[in-house]
Each structure stands twice: as structure tokens, then as C-alpha cells.
Structure 1
Amino acid sequence: MNYLSAENLTKSYGDRILFRNLTFGINRGDKVAIVGANGSGKTSLLSILAGAMPPDEGIVSHRKDISIGYLDQQPDLNDALTVMEVVLAGESAQLDAVRAYEHALAHNDQAALERAMSEMEKQEAWDYESQIRQILGELGIQDVEQQVGSLSGGQRKRVALARVLIQNPDLLILDEPTNHLDLEAIEYLESFLNTNNGTLLMVSHDRYFLDRVCNQIAELDGGQLYTYKGNYAYFLEKKDEREMAAASELAKDRNTFRRELEWMRRQPKARGTKAQYRIDAFEELKDKTSGKRSDGDLDLNLRTSRLGTKILEVENLSKQFGEKVLLDHFTYTFKRFDRVGLIGKNGMGKTTLMNMLTGQLRPDSGKITTGGTVKFGYYTQNELSIPENQRVIDVVQDVAEVMKLANGDTVTASQLLSRFLFDRAKQYDYVAKLSGGEKRRLQLLLVLVQNPNFLILDEPTNDLDISTLNVLEEFLLNFSGCILIVTHDRYFMDRLVEHVFVMEGEGKVRDFPGNYTDYREWRDDQPKNTSQNDKATSAKSKNQSVTPAVSSQSGSTSTTKKKLSFKEIKEYETLEKEIESLEQRKAEVIDLLNTGGHHEQLTAWSREIEQINQSISEKSDRWLELAEYL
């Protein structure tokens, strides 16, 4: 069953053509990702397919009887509303029922309340509010009564994502859904989309996410769309085959073009004396060979300042805001070539720690000693703080006119921009005309051009295309200094880090030897609800007082499942009966609500249903936890 069809789409900005005559379709059950280089037009194409932007030419058709949910890169939310009000502002039959019910309660309208309760029952919406809170919580939004105007850009994106997911549309269209999510939230979203039977169209650069969620990849390259049935790994294999075939075809075309060019030059100048069909074929071949282009590779061969033996020593570092403790006596001595990943839920203090290490924020107590040769390069989540009306080349020249490369050669600002895939025309564009990914690439250049030897990277993968990420990974693998990385890109972190700092809350930091996947496997092997009693949390490393973990490669980590005690087995059996009893009581109260009554009775029954739902949720979680070990 076809959900979306696009025919002969064309979109351009001024003289720049993003794509021309694209034809594309999505069927029910497809999970499609659009990938491509920064500035290739992915976001514009997604906006056109979602109906948020008109194409210059072409037609987009949606099946009339389906619902569509669209997550923009920069969602437009009403700042005056609370988080819950924004989420309830979506469109679905269940949301309509919840809104009508809340309105009837607020206005003490008994007739409207009875109608609303009947509709709640019909739409099975009694559990809906708890589902809303669960999705918001999983995405890192706990306070549903805070105003949207007080949220950060990342929090706004997560609220918008929650609103779209809660609507449960037939066709879900998401633009960079994993940006601004922490690693656990990404894994929740991954699981949600994998278990959802809906149809998905998205733009994403998260390679693990693409591989595990999608069954079709569409690459936007050179204004054309190449579609592959399969996950991201299959796409990489077939793309390589396509590019090899294209290179072979281009070589043949150029050989033919050289022969035809020689023929054209030998023939008389009067065109009427030549075979017109051959002249036409020559012109077509000329267009084909001149139209082929190579994007080139991002070249990060920049010089690194020499790093001495003393790097960075952190001793008993503590920081809190109000009553929230972010760091509690954190101690660590950085060594040469350290590759550290920094992970933890949003709000745990990752950015706070990086700001303290770079001197942008003072700790409450403790000491940071920086070696005399250390030169920080700090890549932040904040967008470029430069005038939008400044030209790209002027931005770089303000830092340096000439830069040194690792091999000793020097390059001008223009040559360096070319190495970062900014062609001559783009160099003289205004910053305002750059795409999100191009701005991030320019920001990365401005950090690296200062020849740092200690890189601190806060979400460097946001908005960077996959080819740029691959080159950045190779540069960092060969970087001769220290690296501290915060990223939601699990593939990026797994390739680069040798151990991770895990911010566990209440100021505790665990230093785990291994990458992110090693840590997750180790954590998943630990018995539930015993982390506070873990003997490893009281151990002290000889080099730091952060909480060390048992290595996932050491023999001291048990991989056997926990066995339930007799008491826990009895608890498991009791929970089954209690959940069944609560479900029966819930059905009885719903029947009472449907019979009507005084406003006070109706309100009391509604509150009882909320309490029952909460109890069922808590007991079900505990039952599932115990069931895992059985």
C-alpha cells in the first residue's frame, strides 16, 4: 500500500540546484533513511515530502486516510505552554479524548464529563497520560509542568519528538531525531521504532541507528536519489559497487570523448558537412564527462603542538548547583595519548566538567593543574558566535592568514577551506547561507587551525555527514595528543576511546576500561538493584579516586545470571495476583464512571484510576525484572 509518492521534484536556491526531477515513493511498513553529504538538500527534501515546504517543480501525494507526524530540525513550539500542554496539542483520537476529559473536569460540566469518559473508554485512553509521561521521561523530560520557553534547544527538540511519537501516526517523518539525545534515550528511541509497526522516513547520520532501524537507505548525491533495499551495512556494500561502476563508466566515457574530440577537430569547420547524429552524440558525451564531479575528501592534515610530560591533573574536584551535586571529589591525572569518552544522562554534568577543565567555569572546591605545553581545542555544542553577514573566508582569516600542516607545508586560508570541502564559491558565501552541517564543519576548522594538543569535543558529530565523520575519525585515531569526547554517536565513540568516564549521578564518576559497547555489555551483566552494593564502587584506583569498574575483559566479572531467592520467587507469584486484582478493580471503576453520578464521585473515581494505573505500572516493572531471572 503506497503512503507517499513524489514525482519530478526540483528544488534550488538561487543558482544552486539541490535536486532535479526526483521521483520517490514510500509504502506501508517501509523504514527509510535519507543520507548524503552536508548541503546536498536532505532537510529540504524531507520538508517537501512532509508538506512543510513547496517544491519548485513536481508533485507530492499522500494517501488521504493516513496520519503524518513530522519532526523538524528546529521545531516551532509555543513558549507560553507547558510541556504537557504542547504534547497534548497533537492530533489523534486518543489525544482528543484526553483533552475533552481534562476540559470537562476543569469546567465542572457533568454532561460533557460523561460524554468524555465514554469517549475515553472507546479510545482506550485511560492509560494515555501515563504513556505520555513515560515517553517524556525516557527522552529526558521529567518536569511536564515547566514552560516550553524555559527549555534549552535540545530539550525543545526532545519535547517535539515526544509529541510526534505520542501521536503514533501512520507515517513518521523525522529530521535528525537522535540529535540532543543522550545514549540511553537513543537506545530507547531505537527500540521504540523497531517495535513500532508504523512507516518511517528520516534523515540521520547515526550509523548504528541506521543499521538497526532502517530497511531501506536512499542516498541524495549530486542531485540524484539512489535507493537501496536493506540496512546501512548493505547500503555501504552496494554504494561501493555503484561508485566503482560509475568510475569505470566515466573512464570509458572520457576515452571516447578524447577520440570524438579529435574527430571533431579534424573535420571541416562547416557543421553541415559533418554527420549531425555524431555531433549530437559528442555534445551529449561532453555534458556527461564534464558533469561528473568528485567531492573530494576532507583533509585534516593539520599540525599539532608538542605536548610535554605533564598534561592535566584534577584533584578532589567538586561542583554543585543548588542541591544538585554534579561532581564529588573527582580526581584523575591525564596521561599522554589518553582517549576518554564521557557518558551519562543529560543534566549529569558532562558539559560542566569540560567547562571546568578548560577554565571557563570555576569548581566549588578542588584543584586543576594544567601542564605548560597544553593547548586546548574546545569544540562546543554552541553554534558559531560570528555575524551571519560575514563571509566564510573572512571568518578564517580573522584567526590566521597562513597555517602550517603536519608535514611542515604552509597553506593559505583559502587553501585550507578547500581542504575542508568549501569550494571557491562557498568561501565567499555569507555564513547565513551555510547549512547546519557546513557551519559545524567551519566550527571544527576554527578549532583545529589553532594547532591544539588536547582536544575536548562536545557532541562533534551533530549535523556532520557520514563521509566527514569517517575522515574526522581517522584524524582523531592518528592525533598525537589527548582527547576527551562527549558524543551520542556510539559508533564514533567505540572507534576512538580506550576508557570512559560514566557520570552516574550524585557526583559519582566511574572510570571504566573499554569503549561504550564494552561498558554497556558489562552493565547489562550486573545483577539488578545491586549497583549500590557493588564492591567496585568503594575501590580506589592508584591514579584517581573516580569509581573504577571491573574490566569487561577480566576474569573477575561474573557473566552468570542472578538466581532468585525463595523470597523473590514468592514476590513474583504474589505480584501476578496483585496485578490481576488491580486490573479487575480498574474495570469496576470504569463501569462506575460510565453509569454517571455526582461530580465529586466522578472526580474521586478518576483519581482512583490514576492511582491504579500507577500501581500497575510499578508492579509490572518489578514483575518483569524478576521474570528476567526466571
Structure 2
Amino acid sequence: MNYLSAENLKKSYGDRTLFQNLTFGISRGDKIAIVGANGSGKTTLLSILAGAMPPDAGLVSQRKDITVGYLDQQPDLNDALTVMEVVLAGESPQLDAVRAYEHAILHDDHAALERAMSDMEKHEAWDYESQMRQILGELGIQDVEQRVGSLSGGQRKRVALARVLIQNPDLLILDEPTNHLDLEAIEYLESFLTTNNGTLLMVSHDRYFLDRVCNQIAEMDNGQLYTYKGNYAYFLEKKEEREAAAASELAKDRNTFRRELEWMRRQPKARGTKAQYRIDAFDELKEKTSGKRNDGDLDLNLRMARLGSKILEVENLSKRFGDKVLLDHFTYTFKRPDRVGLIGKNGMGKTTLMNMLTGQLRPDSGKITTGGTVKFGYYTQTELDLPENQRVIDVVQDVAEVMKLANGDTITATQLLSRFLFDRAKQYDFVAKLSGGEKRRLQLLLVLVQNPNFLILDEPTNDLDIMTLNVLEDFLLNFPGCVLIVTHDRYFMDRLVEHVFVMEGEGKVRDFPGNYTDYRDWRDAQPKKTAQNDKSVATTSKNQTPAPVVSSAPTNGSSNGTKRKLSFKEIKEYETLEKEIESLEQHKSNVVSLLNTGGSHEQLMAWAREIEQIDQTVAEKSERWLELAEHM
């Protein structure tokens, strides 16, 4: 069943054509990701398909009996509304019932509450409300009564994502949905989209996410859309085959072009004396060979300032904001060439720690000693404040007109920009004309041209295309200085870091030997902590590591690759949970029946709160039951 189709689409900005004669279709059950270089037109295409932007030419047709949910890169939310009001702003019978229920409770309206409870039962909205609160919580949205105007850009994106997911549309269109999510929220979204039976179209550069969620990849390349049936790993294989075939065809075309060019030069100048069909074929071949482009290589082989033996020592570092403790006596000594990943939920203090290390924020107590040769390169989440009316080449030349490479050679700003995939025309574009990813790439260049020897990268993968990410990874793997990385891109972190700082809350930081996947597998294998165990976890230093130390063994629960078996105690827990969940569901049904019979205002409010508590308990027990069921 076809959900959406686009025929002969064209879109241009000024004299630059992003794509033309582009045809594309989405069928029920498709989970399609659009990938491609920054500035290739992915976001523009998504906006056109979602109906948020008209094409210059062509037609987009959507099946009339389906619902579509669209997440923009920069969601337009009403600042005057609360988070809950924004999330409930969609259209569905369930949302209408939940809206009425929330309004009745907020305004203490007894009559409205009775009607709302009846509608909640009629439309089976009790579970819907529970699911809504679960989605908000999983995306890190706890305070649903705060005004949208007080939220950061990342929080606004998460609220917009929650609103789209809660509506459960037939077709989801998501533009960079993992940006501004922490790692746990990304894994929740990954699970949600994988198990959801809906249809999905998205733009994303998260390679693990693409591999696990999508069943089709569509690549934007030079104004064309190439579609591959399969996940991201399959796409890479087939793309290599396509490019090899294209290179072979290009070589043949160029040989033919050289022969035809000689023929054109030998023939009389009067066009009437030449075979017109051969002239037309020559013109077509000329356009075909000149239209092919070589993407080139993003070469980041820049010189690094010398780094001495003393680098950075952190001793008993503490920081709090109000009652919230972000760091509590954190101690660590950086050595060359440390490559550390910094992970933790949003709001745990990752950016705060980086700002303290670079001297932009003072700690409450503790000491930071920086070696005399250390030169920080700090790439932040916040885009540099570049004048929109300044040309790209001028921005770089303001920092340095000539840079040194690692081998001692020099390179001009123009040559360096070319290596960062800014062609000659793009170098003389105004900053205002750059895409979001191109601006981030320019920001990365401006950090690296200052020859740092200690790189601190705060979400460097946001908005960067996959080609740029691959070469940035290669550069960082060979970077002889220190690197501290915060990123939600699990593939990027897994490839680069040797150990991770895990910000666990209440100021605790765990230094874990291994990459993110190693840590996650170790964490998931740990028994549930008791309150007493939690108290025993202390802030770690360089010499403190969790036990057991993770190894390179298979990550499915045992060293020989076989499925972990449940203990006798866990089997009994599994059986007990089934009975408890069934009993809770029955109890909830009884309470709902009481609600429908009516009662005093106090009774109705008490029953409503009880239903909410039952839903929460069932969700917790169901999560544990599913965890155990995987090993049955």
C-alpha cells in the first residue's frame, strides 16, 4: 500500500539546484533513512515530502486516510504553553479524552472529571496516558508543567519528538531525531521505532541507529536519489559496488570523449559539414563527463603543538548548582595519549566538567593544574557566532592565512577549505547560505587550525555527514595528544575511546576501562543494586576501576557465546511477576468500575490517583518481566 509518492521534484536556491526530476515513493511498513553529504538537500527534501515546503516543480501525493507526524530540525513550539499542553496538542480521540481529564484535575472540576473519566474508559485512554508519561520520561522530560519558553534548544527538540511519537501517526517523518538525546534516550527511541509497526522516513547520521532501525537507505548524491533495500551495512556494500561501476563507466566515457574531441577539432568549422547526430552525442558526452565530480578526501593532517610530560591534573574537584551535586571530589591525572569518552544522562554535568577543565567555569572546590605546553581545542555544542554576511574564506583567513601540516609543509586557507570539502564556489559563499552541517564543519576547522594538543569535543557528530565523520574518526585515532569526547554517536565513541567517565549522579564519576558498548554490557550484566550497595559506590580516580573488568568476550551474557540461563531465584521471580501483573490489571479494572459508578469528589480523585499508581507499578514490573523473559 503506497502511503506517499513524489514525482519529478525540483528545488533550487538562487543559482544552485539541489535536485530535479527526483521521483520517490514510500509504502506501508517501509523504514527509510535518507543519507548524504551536508548541503546535498536531505532536510529540504524531507520538508517538501512532509508538506512544510513547496517544491519549485513536481508533485507530492499523500494517501488521504493516513496520519503524518513530522519532526523538524528546528521545531516551532508555542513558548507560552507548558510541556504537557504542547504534547497534548495533537488530534485523536484518546488525546481529546486525556486533555479533558488533565483539565478537570487541574481545575478541580467534579462534573468535568466524571465525564472525562467516562471518555477515558470509552476510548481506552488510561493506557494511552500511561504510555504518554512513559515516553516523556524516557526522553528526559520530567517537569511537564514548565513553560516551553524556558527550555533549551535540545529540550525543545525532545518535547517535539515526544509529541510526534505520542500521536502514533501512520507515517513518521523525522529530521535528525537523535540530536540532543542522551545515549539512553537514543536506545529507547531505537527500540520504540524497531518494535513499532508504523512507517518511517528520516534523516540521520547515527550509523548504529541506521543499521538497527531501517530496512531501506536512500542516498542523496549530486542531485540524485539512490535507493537500497536493506540496512545501513547492506547500503555500504552496494554503494561501493555502484561507485566502482560508475568509476569504470566514467573512465570509458572520458576515453570516448577524448577521441570525439579530436574528431571535432579535425573537422571543418562549419557545423553543416559535420554529422549533426555525432555533434549532439559529443555535447551530451561532454556534459556527462564534466558533471561527474570527485568528492576528494577530507585531510585533517594538521600540525599539533608540542605536548610536555605534565598535561592536566584534577584533584578533588567539586561543583554543585543549588541542591544538585554535579561533581563530588573527582580526581584524575591525564596522560598522553588519553582518549576518554564522557557519558551520562542530560543534566548530569558533562558540559560543566568540560567548562571547568578549560577554565571557563570555576569549581566550588578542588584544584586543576594545567601543564605549560597544553593548548586546548574546545569544540562546543553552541555554534560559533559568525557574521552571516561574511564569506567562508574570510572567516578562516581571520584566524590564519597559512597553516602548517604535520610533515612541515604549509597550506593556504583556500587549500585547507578544499580539504574540508568546501569547493571554490562554496568558499566564496556567505556563511548565511551554508547548511547546518556545513557550518558545523567550518566550526570544526576553526578549532583544528589553531594546532591544539588537547581536544575537548562536545557533541562533534551533530549535523556532520557520515563521510566527514569517518575521516574525523581516522584523524582522532592518529592524534598524538589527549582527547575528551561527549557524543551521542555510539559508533563514533566505540571506535575512538579507550575508557569512559560515567557520570552516575550525585557527583559520582566512574572510570570504566573500555568503550561505551563495553560499559553498557557490563552495566546490564550487573544485578539490581540495593540501597546499601548504592551507598558504597564512591567517586573514582584514575586507579579505580569497576569489577569485574570487562573483557572482549561476547556480549550476550557468557564467554562462550551461549545464552545466559536464569538462576532458580530468577525463574521464581519471573513466575511471580506474571501473577502480580495479572493481579494488578484485575485490580485496576475494579477501580475503573468504581469510577464509572460515581462517588464523592474525594473518592473520585483518590481512585484516579490509584489508577495512576497501578499503571506505574505495572510498567516497572513488566520491564523486569521482559528482561527475564529474554533469558528463558
TM-score normalised over the length of structure 1? 0.94
Q: Which residue of 1 aligns with 2:479?
A: 479
Aligned counterparts of 2:108 and 2:539: Cα–Cα separation in 1:
59
How many residue pairs align between the two structures?
A: 626
Corresponding residue SS for 1:174 = strand
Structure 2 unaligned blocks of 5 or more: none
**What amino acid does structure 1 have at the position aligned with 2:368?**
I
Aligned counterparts of 1:14 and 1:301: Cα–Cα separation in 2:
35
Aligned pairs (5 A) from 1:242-391: 242-391=242-391
Aligned counterparts of 1:608 and 1:535: Cα–Cα separation in 2:
31
Q: Which residue of 1 aligns with 2:589?
A: 587
Contact 2:295–2:421, Cα closer than 8 Å, also in 1? yes
Q: Determine whether 1:505 maps to 2:508.
A: no
Aligned counterparts of 2:534 and 2:80: Cα–Cα separation in 1:
45
Contact 1:343–1:500, Cα closer than 8 Å, also in 2? yes
**What amino acid does structure 2 have at the position aligned with 1:551?**
V
Corresponding residue SS for 1:308 = coil
Aligned pairs (5 A) from 1:41-120: 41-104=41-104, 115-120=115-120
Aligned counterparts of 1:506 and 1:254: Cα–Cα separation in 2:
65
Aligned counterparts of 1:248 and 1:624: Cα–Cα separation in 2:
52
Corresponding residue SS for 1:416 = helix
Q: Determine whether 1:236 maps to 2:203.
A: no
- The structural deviation recorded for 1:396 is 1.1
Aligned counterparts of 2:37 and 2:151: Cα–Cα separation in 1:
30
Q: Determine whether 1:617 maps to 2:615.
A: no
Q: Could you list the per-position Cα deviations for residues 497-531 of structure 1 after superposition, in whole angstroms to 9, with x for gaps in the alignment?
A: 11111111111111111111111111122122259
Aligned counterparts of 2:202 and 2:572: Cα–Cα separation in 1:
46
TM-score normalised over the length of structure 2? 0.94
Corresponding residue SS for 1:127 = helix
Q: Could you list the per-position Cα deviations for residues 325-371 of structure 1 after superposition, in whole angstroms to 9, with x for gaps in the alignment?
A: 11111111111111111111111111111111111111111111111
Contact 1:315–1:332, Cα closer than 8 Å, also in 2? yes
Distance 1:367 1:245, change over 3 A: same
Distance 1:390 1:559, change over 3 A: same
Contact 1:181–1:488, Cα closer than 8 Å, also in 2? yes
Q: Could you list the per-position Cα deviations for residues 392-412 of structure 1 after superposition, in whole angstroms to 9, with x for gaps in the alignment?
A: 122111111211111212122
Larger deviation, residues 440-449 vs 603-612:
603-612
Aligned counterparts of 1:588 and 1:106: Cα–Cα separation in 2:
25
Q: CA RMSD in A?
A: 2.4
**What amino acid does structure 2 have at the position aligned with 1:302?**
L
Q: Which residue of 1 aligns with 2:22?
A: 22
Aligned counterparts of 2:103 and 2:37: Cα–Cα separation in 1:
48
Aligned counterparts of 1:524 and 1:536: Cα–Cα separation in 2:
19
Larger deviation, residues 43-52 vs 278-287:
278-287
- The structural deviation recorded for 1:432 is 1.3
Distance 1:129 1:286, change over 3 A: same
Q: Determine whether 1:187 maps to 2:184.
A: no
Contact 2:508–2:539, Cα closer than 8 Å, also in 1? no
Contact 1:539–1:547, Cα closer than 8 Å, also in 2? no
Q: Determine whether 1:404 maps to 2:404.
A: yes
Aligned counterparts of 2:399 and 2:340: Cα–Cα separation in 1:
28
Aligned counterparts of 1:166 and 1:289: Cα–Cα separation in 2:
49
Q: Which residue of 2 aligns with 1:553?
A: 551
Corresponding residue SS for 1:156 = helix
Aligned counterparts of 1:105 and 1:533: Cα–Cα separation in 2:
39
- The structural deviation recorded for 1:74 is 0.6
Structure 1 unaligned blocks of 5 or more: none
- The structural deviation recorded for 1:199 is 0.3
Corresponding residue SS for 2:126 = coil
Contact 1:326–1:506, Cα closer than 8 Å, also in 2? yes
**What amino acid does structure 2 have at the position aligned with 1:553?**
S
Aligned counterparts of 2:268 and 2:572: Cα–Cα separation in 1:
99
- The structural deviation recorded for 1:586 is 2.1
Aligned counterparts of 1:437 and 1:423: Cα–Cα separation in 2:
15
- The structural deviation recorded for 1:587 is 1.8
Q: Percent identity?
A: 87
**What amino acid does structure 2 have at the position aligned with 1:177?**
P
Larger deviation, residues 93-102 vs 398-407:
93-102
Q: Could you list the per-position Cα deviations for residues 22-43 of structure 1 after superposition, in whole angstroms to 9, with x for gaps in the alignment?
A: 0000000000000000000000
Distance 1:229 1:100, change over 3 A: same
Aligned counterparts of 1:38 and 1:554: Cα–Cα separation in 2:
35
Corresponding residue SS for 1:377 = strand
- The structural deviation recorded for 1:210 is 0.4
Larger deviation, residues 17-26 vs 408-417:
408-417
Aligned counterparts of 1:103 and 1:362: Cα–Cα separation in 2:
44
- The structural deviation recorded for 1:241 is 0.6
Distance 1:601 1:202, change over 3 A: same
Aligned counterparts of 1:437 and 1:572: Cα–Cα separation in 2:
48
Contact 1:319–1:326, Cα closer than 8 Å, also in 2? yes
